[in-house]
Amino acid sequence: MNGRTLDIAVVGGGLAGGLIALAIHRAQPHSRIALIEAGGSFGGNHRWSWFTGDLDPAGEALMAPFPQTVWPEGNIVRFPAHERQLAGEYRSLASPDFDRTLRRLLPQQAIMAGTRVANLSEHGVELETGEKLAARKVIDCRDAVPSEHLTGGWQVFMGRHLRCDSPHGVVRPVIMDATVEQPGAYRFVYVLPLGPQDIFVEDTYYADEPRLDRALLSERIAAYCAAHGWTGETVGEETGVLPVITGGDFAAYRDRLAVPGVVLAGARGGFTHPLTSYTTPIAVANALAIASQAHLAGEELACFVDRRAQDHWRATRFYRMLGKMLFDAAEPERRFKIFERFYRLPEPLIERFYAARSTRLDQLRTLTGKPPVPIPRAIAALLGKGRPLVQG
C-alpha cells in the first residue's frame, strides 16, 4: 500500500465488512478501498444460511457472485408434538467461498487479510505493525463484543461437516429438530444436506450461560449422526457463542463502542436479528444502504448508519420481547414449546419473522391463543430487567 490516502478503510473482513466493501466497490469502482482483516482469510470459519425470500432483488444481486448451496425443495422442522415441511427455499454460503469471491472481485490493492488494526479514527487506521493508513472514511466492522448495556441469553452451538461413507438420503434442510433431549436449554439440531454424502449437523442451545462444552457437544453430534446411520469422516467443524438480545440501553451500547466520525456497522454495530442472532439479510441490506451513501463525508456517513442502527433497534422490539419470554418466562426444558407453537403459524408469517420483517398483524397472531408459558411468568419476564450480556 503506498502513502496515498484511501477513500474508505473497512476494518474487519467478516460477513458485514466484506459485503460493505463489495457493495461500495460495485457502486464506486474507482474508489480506493481497503478491506483490512486480522485473520488470514475473510469471513473466518462460518457457514451462513438464509431463506431466499429474505433478500430483495438488489440483495440477491449482491450475493449472486458467491457460490451457494441452494435447497429449492423447502425445509423441515421437527418438534415433539408436530413435524412440518415448509416451502421456503434455503441457501448457504461457506466462508472459504466468501473469501475466494472477495479476492476475485475486489481490486488487488483492497485485499488486506492478515493485517490487524491497532487503532482507528475518522482520519484513518494504525496497524499493529505501527504503519498508518490515512483514509477519508473509516468503517468499523470488527467483532461484536459482549456488553453490560444489553441483556439477554446466548445461542451456543457446534457444527460438524461429515463426509458419510454412503449416501445419507436427506433431501431437505432440517432447520430445527427439537425432538432431542432438552438439557437445561432450548436445544435443537440443524441439518444441511450439502451433497449426496456430505452433511452438516449443528447442535444448538438457547442457554443462559455463554459456555461452550466442545467435548459434550461433539459427543452429542456423534450420537445424533449414529442414530441416523451417518458415519464417515469429519471434514470441518465450527462453533459459535452468539448473544440473543432481549433488551438494554442500545444508545449506551453504541456510544461505548463508537469512535467519533467512524461508521460503526456489522454485528458490532447492533445489526443482528435479536432472537435468531442471524445477520445475513440485515448485513446485505446495510451494505447496499451504505454503498448508496458512500459519497457522504465520513462524519455524515457515520450519522446515517447510526440512524439506521437506531431504527433497526426500534423495529426489532418484538423479537426482543419474544426472547424475554424464551429466557425469562419459560423453564429451560420447556423453551421448545415457544418455537413448537410458533411453527404452527402460517408460512409467510414465519418467513417474515426470519427476515426480521414481521408486520403488526404477524405480531398479534404470534401472541394470541393459548400461551406456551404461564401468564404470570410472562408478565414478570416482560417487566423484568433481564441478565446483562457479559461473558465470564
Ligand X SMILES: Cc1cc2nc3c(=O)[nH]c(=O)nc-3n(C[C@H](O)[C@H](O)[C@H](O)COP(=O)(O)OP(=O)(O)OC[C@H]3O[C@@H](n4cnc5c(N)ncnc54)[C@H](O)[C@@H]3O)c2cc1C
| Of residues 319-378, those binding ligand X (CB under 6 A) | none
Which residue carries 407453537 as its cell? 341
At 201 the three-state DSSP class reads strand
Q: How far is the CB of 67 from ligand X (least distance, A)?
A: 16
Question: In this chain, which stretch among 135-143, 179-187, 255-263, 307-315 interacts with ligand X, using CB under 6 A?
Answer: 135-143
Q: Pick from 87, 111, 102, 93: which is nearest to 34 by CA? A: 111
* Secondary-structure percent of the chain, ordered helix, strand, coil, rounded to 5: 35, 30, 35
Cβ closest to ligand X, residue 356 vs residue 373: 356
Tell me which stretch binds ligand X (CB under 6 A): 8-16, 322-330, 338-346, 349-357: 8-16
Nearer to ligand X, 68 or 197 (CB): 68
Question: Minimum Å distance from CB 229 to ligand X?
Answer: 26
Shortest distance in whole angstroms from residue 131 CB to ligand X: 13
Our CA angle for 88, 14, 87, nearest 5°, is: 5
Distances (CA, A) of 345 to 73, 238, 318, 360: 20, 31, 16, 15
> If binding is defined by CB under 6 A, does position 141 make contact with ligand X?
yes
Query: Which CB sits closer to ligand X, 50 or 230?
Result: 50
The answer to whether the CB of 144 falls within 8 A of the CB of 198 is no
Q: Tell me which of 267, 309, 325, 381 binds ligand X, using CB under 6 A.
A: 267
* Cα-based torsion angle of the residue sequence 369, 375, 381, 382 in order, rounded to the nearest 10 degrees: 60
In terms of residues, how long is the chain? Answer: 392
Give the interface segment with ligand X, choosing from 46-54, 191-199, 214-222, 350-358 (CB under 6 A). 46-54
In the set 82, 116, 317, 344, which binds ligand X (CB under 6 A)?
116
310 by DSSP, 3-state: which? helix
Angstrom distance (rounded) from CA 180 to CA 124: 50
Residue type, 218: S
Within a 13 Å sphere around the CA of 359, how many CA atoms are in the beta-carbon half?
6
- 146: contact with ligand X by CB under 6 A: no
Q: Which of residues 195-254 bind ligand X (CB under 6 A)?
A: 238, 240, 242
Cα–chain-centroid distance for residue 271? Answer: 9
- Shortest Å, Cβ 278 to ligand X: 3
Among positions 26, 46, 103, 136, the unique one binding ligand X when judged by CB under 6 A:
46
How distant, in Å, are the alpha carbons of 4, 179, 241, 325, 330 from that of 207?
A: 48, 17, 10, 13, 12
Residue appearing with cell numbers 429474505: 54
For ligand X, the closer of residues 34 and 185 by Cβ is 34
Binding characters for ligand X, 271-290, by CB under 6 A (x = yes): ------xxxx----------
Q: What's the CA gap between 269 and 155, in Å, rounded?
A: 19
Distance spanning both ends of the chain, measured CA to CA: 40
Q: Taking the complex as a whole, how short is the minimal distance between the CB of residue 112 and ligand X, in angstroms?
A: 9
| Rg for the chain, CA atoms, rounded | 21
16 lines the binding site for ligand X (CB under 6 A): yes
Binders of ligand X: how many residues, by CB under 6 A? 32
CB of 88 to ligand X, least distance (A): 14
Using DSSP's 3-state secondary structure scheme, residue 211 falls into coil
Which of residues 38, 262, 294, 330 is near ligand X by CB under 6 A?
38
Helix (H, G, I), strand (E, B) or coil at 237: strand
- Binding span for ligand X by CB under 6 A among 24-32, 76-84, 264-272, 309-317: 264-272
Residue from 77, 117, 291, 302 binding ligand X (CB under 6 A): 117
Nearer to ligand X, 56 or 238 (CB): 238
Task: Check residue 386 and give left, alpha or beta (phi > 0: left; psi -120 to 50: alpha).
Answer: left
Q: Which is nearer to ligand X, 129 or 368 (CB)?
A: 129
- Which of 39-47, 286-294, 332-340, 365-373 is the region at the interface with ligand X (rule: CB under 6 A)? 39-47
Taking CB atoms, the residue at the shortest distance from ligand X is 14
List contacts with ligand X (CB under 6 A): 11-17, 36-39, 44, 46-50, 116-117, 141-143, 238, 240, 242, 266-268, 277-280
